[in-house]
Homo-oligomer: A and B are copies of this chain.
Amino acid sequence: MHPMATPVLSQTTSARPLRAAVAERGKARVAAVGVTGYAGGELLRLLAAHPAVEIAAIVGRGRSGEAIGKSQPHLAELALEIQQDIPQDVDAVFLALPHGASAEVVAEIVGSGRTAFDLGPDFRLRDERSYPEWYGWDHPAPRLLADAVYGLPELHRAELAALGDRAGSIVGVPGCYPTATLLATAPVARAGLIADLVVDAKSGVSGAGREPKPELTFSEVNETVRAYGLEGHRHAAEIAQELGALTSTDPAAQLAALEFVPHLIPMTRGLLATCYIRTTRRVEAPELAELYEAAYGAEPFVQVVAASPSTKHVTGSNVARVHARVQPRTGRVLALGAIDNLVKGAAGQAVQAFNVVAGLDERTGLEARAIAP
């Protein structure tokens, strides 16, 4: 477990389900915990412009009293100040903390009836044994895992909507790699067509967080590319869990058919998952097109595109661009998913999930189009 003291609710009170709170006042009062990193900054940027959100507090460990402009200079004019505790009268709490840091505080949040949207991994995995295996610590609140919902609306929309009627719900917002991978491959997985899957993923550096590690300085990252996490990246556990759920396969069996290798790319934002699928039978292009149209034709944030997607074309937006094709020579399905790792891969996804839970139009506050070039 993460040893640092975590912020606590200043006092617990009875609370209503999120949907009712928003329906009554037209707005949710929210707190954001952990706002000094990149996902936290992006979350603030989105929440501050969200018409159905009132930012009641930004909360941080040991930075009480600090103006937001110190850690997020581009948001200085929000004129928010970090405080020690989560106010008692908020309807929802967003958390963007290092892994292991949110499990305990989430227990308190939901215990007092609030809804928690955790951008970290502490509530993404259903099986408590996954935490010691992939993260190296025992989950401090394992009984909460069963009720938490994996916050990928494209796969779990109904479950998320159902949370809106319950006080004390938890959304485990997906990681950036699983988001791009799952959106790229879900239509094929759901049809039971994946025999095995190689995911070669490329991420911008902001995905590695804001901690100034030696290998993340400009001089080390610029003009180079390398694979990392060869021994097994934690996000593989999420991918396997969700692909398993789509096909009623055991996640462990799923892992045996999944090769996931992330790469660090000299760019700040953007994530591309190139997915190589050996199929259980020969798939033809029209069938593949139908699967993707059926899956995403009505989705507000997934665009099935006719050519290889560029991450630049989704920068700053909550859109995922997906392209799938059958490779004639090999018969493989090639599926590509491109997202902005900090928006659809983190903060935007959290807001999208919030919208679903709160009964709002899913696009609320997420209408901004990509910025290019």
Residues of chain A whose beta carbon lies under 8 Å from any beta carbon of chain B: 38, 41, 45, 48-49, 72-78, 196, 198, 200, 202, 204-206, 210, 212-214, 216-228, 230, 232, 255-259, 261, 263, 265-270, 272, 274, 276, 278, 303, 305, 308-317, 325, 327, 329-330, 332, 334, 336, 338, 367-373
Contact = CB atoms under 8 A, between A and B. Distances in A.
Given A268-B373, A373-B268, A224 B311 contact: yes
Contacts of A210: 214, 217, 219
A49 B317 CA distance: 13
28 contacts: A41-B373, A48-B369, A74-B314, A74-B315, A77-B303, A202-B202, A202-B263, A212-B213, A216-B218, A218-B266, A220-B312, A222-B222, A222-B268, A223-B312, A224-B310, A224-B311, A224-B315, A225-B270, A225-B272, A226-B272, A227-B274, A230-B325, A256-B330, A257-B330, A258-B330, A265-B265, A269-B373, A316-B316
Given A217-B212, A218-B268, A314-B74, A309 B206 contact: no
A75 B309 CA distance: 13
B311 A225 contact: yes
Nearest to A314: B74
A372 B330 contact: no
Contacts of A48: 369
A219 B274 contact: no
A308 B198 CA distance: 18
Contacts of A216: 212, 217-219
B274 A200 contact: yes
A278 to B, nearest CB: 8
B45 A371 contact: yes
Contact of A217 (B45, B78, B218, B263): B218
A226 B263 contact: no
Contact of A270 (B38, B224, B370): B224
- Which of A219, A222, A223 has the largest count of B CB atoms less than 10 A from its CB? A219
A44 to B, nearest CB: 9
Contacts of A317: 74
